[in-house]
Structure 1
Amino acid sequence: MQPIRSIQVLRALAALMVAVHHVQPDAAVIAERAGLSFARSDLLPWMAGVDIFFVVSGFIMVHASQELFGRAGAARAFLTRRLARIVPLYWAMTSLFLLAGLAVPALLNSDAPSLGQVLGSYLFWPVVSTQGLVQPVYSLGWTLNYEMLFYVLFAAGLMLPARLTLPAVTLVLAGLVAAQSLAGPLALPFGFWGQPIVLEFAAGMGIAVLRRKGLRLHGALRIAVAAAGAGLLIAAAHLPGTDGPWSSVLWRGGAAILLMLAAGCGREGIVPIGPVKALAVVGDASYALYLVHPFVIRGLREVVLRLGLPMPALYIALALAGSVIAALMVHRFFEKPATRLVRRRLSSASSP
């Protein structure tokens, strides 16, 4: 099934938002070393890119798996696709991070991880880090721990009659959140899985159902829905009390839902302008951009510091552009070949 270009654009913007969030502390270090002031931008809640990713993920799993509903062997086929898509690049980046930490321990910004944390990282299992946080060795992987939970539940749902798949997945997600909210805090992993943010997967699935039932937003209405989503994001960045577990889902998740509605339920076939095409290409590599950008950001920071370039704004521009270029190369030369290879291996291993 061909990707929907507007959703790819949304994925690109989500990944860039996360990169903007992460580049600013390093820019502040450059400014401090040069004796300059640096005011971080809070125009948007940049980590809301994660909320957008989760809603998009819920949509894509339904949209791209329509032929699997009610089919024998659907769960295995679905998991084969997702493992081949997610595991190779994440394991590669986790391994690279560990190797970099062995070579330059200061890069870890923490004590050396325990064996349990390393194993949990590779298995997408929530564990407590040496900093007391529930996150894997490569901290960005906390979102993938949620994604893998969703994939396992979705695969299990595909073993049910087609009409029950999405209600069952939604019910389990809601049950986890209700248990954590009403009886929590729960022990790991349930305390991690029961955070309200997982409901954004269900919201994305709901939008996919609406699209499948024929919902389309046209012209001014589509623009208005997208503008409302952007407005909610801006409000979430400037109003107090919008960053709690529930309030962030209401504000940032609500914005992500509106943006996903505009992207996923719009009219296709419109010839895009150049910047939209470019963003769609970046969207194809958004998973690589999400995982690769911290390496580029930190690496360029060290280069800029050693060259003595006291220009944080230039550094931000170079770091973001470099992250995009690196992501496109990783996507083209590693992610796509590795995905094809692992999918073939998993498919052949599961064949009778």
Structure 2
Amino acid sequence: MYKLSSLQAARGLAALMVVAFHSLFINAKYVESKNLLPKIFFFGQTGVDLFFVISGFVMIIAFREKFGKKGEIFNFLKGRFFRIYPTYWVYFLAVFLVFQIKPEIMNGSQGGNVDLTASLLLLPASSLPLLMVAWSLIHEVWFYLVFAAILLLPSKWVPGAFFFWLVTIICASLFAATPDNPYLRVMTHAFSLEFIFGALAGIAYLKLSKKPKPSPYSAVSTALTGLGAIAYALSGGVVNGSDVIQSISLERAFAVGGGYTLLLLACALQESNNRLKAVSFLKLTGDMSYSLYLSHVLTLSVCGRVWLSAGYTGSGAWGAIVFWAASYSAVILVAYLSYRLIEKPLLTLTTFYKKLNLVKHPSAAKGDI
């Protein structure tokens, strides 16, 4: 019931959306011809919103039986650490080496102003991380810390804890200015609402999926409401060019985050009742979505520099078609190789470490994840 391929497919879709969004900047920088990329690619930035919703949903599903149990905080944080940091550090190291050799090509928009310690540890800082896309991982780390605290609570108190967190973020957004302190900015950022929405949807899913014969119309109406919210965000200018790293509006959090939450819940319910099958390509993309997210801007930038050095920038519409066909193929290939050769072996290694640790400490087996 709880191994939902629709969640993995949603991860793949979210990653592809972010790739589409960043393509617009690569096109403007390296392809001196008519922009062939559709304007809707700008909405691809909300792939990050979808990632946050998925994260909250998955945390509830994966740790549904761990609330209120002794020792779970350590097991949870250890698992999250091994899932996020080892693969990230491989990319951080690669970018760091380039930064040492040619600092002018890294973080050029910030004039090379980078907090390397904060970048390494995924801590909030006044500047972007060295690997720029890692700014969203800083929010993920914060989500995990709060979730770890919620794990202390009995199951019956968990929904109340999330509602309390939700009200706190809404009040901070309504009545306080965006903090200058980067730690406070992350802690009060409305992106937290999307993680909370996902978690509450996960709680709802656990209850609704147990019903003997749920009506398909409830899932359909949920999906239509979610699509309506996304359509409103598309047409109403909710997603604009503002700096989302500093803050997002409550309107965006509710329209985009809420819309994705309802769509995700509807898909999960339909799948649990064997009424939905995820697209295989999106499932595969979801498997390698972390590698895709970490690598895609680097891959696109390399493709752009090669294109620029080859002198093809003014080659017209056909040239642009060739560039994007080659670049998108490279993005998928690099992400797949990264997943197979870096991410998956590191996950296997950390899994082996955890099993070895259980052999040394058998009493920990009951609480391990």
Both structures adopt the same fold (TM-score exceeding 0.5): yes
Name 2:11's counterpart in structure 1: 11
Structure 1 range deviating more: 105-114 or 88-97: 105-114
83 and 343 in structure 1: CA distance in 2 versus 1, 3 angstrom threshold = farther
- Counterpart CA distance in 2 for 1:327 and 1:90 is 13
Letter of the aligned partner of 1:86 in structure 2? I
Cα deviation 1:147-198 (Å, max 9, x = unaligned): 1111111111112223224432542454255235423333331123201121
Distance change in 2, residues 1:298/1:224 (3 Å):
farther
Note closer, same or farther for the CA distance 1:338–1:177 as it changes in structure 2 (3 Å cut).
farther
Q: 1: CA distance between counterparts of 2:67 and 2:3?
A: 19
Q: TM-score, normalised by structure 2?
A: 0.82
Paired with 1:218 and 1:280, the residues of 2 have a C-alpha distance of 26
TM-score, normalised relative to structure 1? 0.86
| 1:265 counterpart = 2:269 | yes
How far did residue 200 of structure 1 move? 0.8
Deviations 1:99-118 (A, max 9, x none): 1222333321133344xx11
AA at the equivalent of 1:260:
L
Q: Is the 8 A contact 1:177 1:193 kept in 2?
A: no
> Residue 189 of structure 1 aligns to a residue in which SS?
helix
| C-alpha distance 40-166 of structure 1, shift in aligned 2 (>3 A) | same
Task: Give the match for residue 67 of structure 1.
Answer: 65
Structure 1: segments with no counterpart, 5+ residues: 130-134
In the TM superposition, 1:222-233 aligns within 5 A as 222=219, 225-226=222-223, 228-233=225-230
* Correspondence for 1:336 among 323, 344, 363: 344
Alignment-derived partner of residue 279 in structure 2: 276
Are positions 1:238 and 2:231 aligned together? no
User: What residue is the counterpart of 2:367 in the other structure?
Assistant: none
> In 1, distance between residues paired with 2:309 and 2:231?
36
1:28-55 Cα deviation digits (max 9, x unpaired): 33332xxx22265222511110111111
For residues 313 and 223 of structure 1, the distance between their equivalents in structure 2, rounded to whole angstroms, comes to 38
The aligned length equals: 341
The residue number in structure 2 matching 1:178 is: 171
Residues in 1 aligned to 2:65 and 2:184: alpha-carbon distance in whole angstroms: 31
1:213 aligns with 2:207: yes
Is 1:255 the counterpart of 2:252? The answer is no
Cα RMSD between the aligned structures?
Answer: 2.8
- Contact 2:14 2:48 (C-alpha < 8 Å) held by counterparts: yes
- Tell me what 1:292 maps to: 295
Corresponding residue to 1:152 among 126, 140, 145:
145
Task: Specify the alignment match of 2:88 in structure 1.
Answer: 90
The change in CA–CA distance for 1:57 and 1:316 in structure 2 (over 3 A counts) is same
Q: Judging changes above 3 Å, is the alpha-carbon distance between structure 1 residues 332 and 226 closer, same or farther for their aligned structure 2 residues?
A: farther
Contact 2:76 2:148 in 1 (8 A): yes
Contact 1:173-1:199 at 8 Å conserved across structures = yes
Please tell me whether the aligned partners of residues 232 and 254 of structure 1 are also in contact (alpha carbons under 8 angstroms).
Answer: yes
Q: SS of the counterpart of 1:46?
A: helix
Aligned AA for 1:202?
Answer: I
Report if aligned partners of 1:27, 1:313 keep a CA contact under 8 Å in 2.
no
- In the TM superposition, what are the counterparts of 1:192-207 in structure 2 within 5 Å? 192-207=186-201
Task: Between 2-11 and 181-190, report the one with greater CA deviation.
Answer: 181-190
Pair 1:125–1:163, CA change in 2 (3 A)? same
Alpha-carbon distance change, 316 to 57 in structure 1, aligned in 2, over 3 angstroms: same
- Structure 2 distance, partners of 1:28, 1:83, is 36
Kept in 2: contact 1:80–1:346 (CA 8 A)? no
Structure 2 CA distance, aligned partners of 1:267 and 1:55?
A: 18
Equivalent pair of 2:169/2:193 in contact (CA under 8 Å)? no
Change (3 A) 1:95 1:227: farther
Q: Give unmatched runs, 5+ long, in structure 2.
A: 241-247, 365-369
Cα displacement string for residues 252-296 of structure 1 (whole angstroms, at most 9, x for unaligned residues): 1122112211222223374977x8112111111111111111111
The question of 1:21 aligning with 2:21 is answered yes
Letter in 1 for 2:186: F
CA contact (8 A) 1:11 1:53 kept: yes
Q: Secondary structure at the match of 2:40?
A: coil
Q: Residues 119 and 100 from structure 1, CA distance in 2 versus in 1: closer, same or farther, beyond 3 angstroms?
A: same
Q: Is the 8 A contact 2:124 2:138 kept in 1?
A: yes
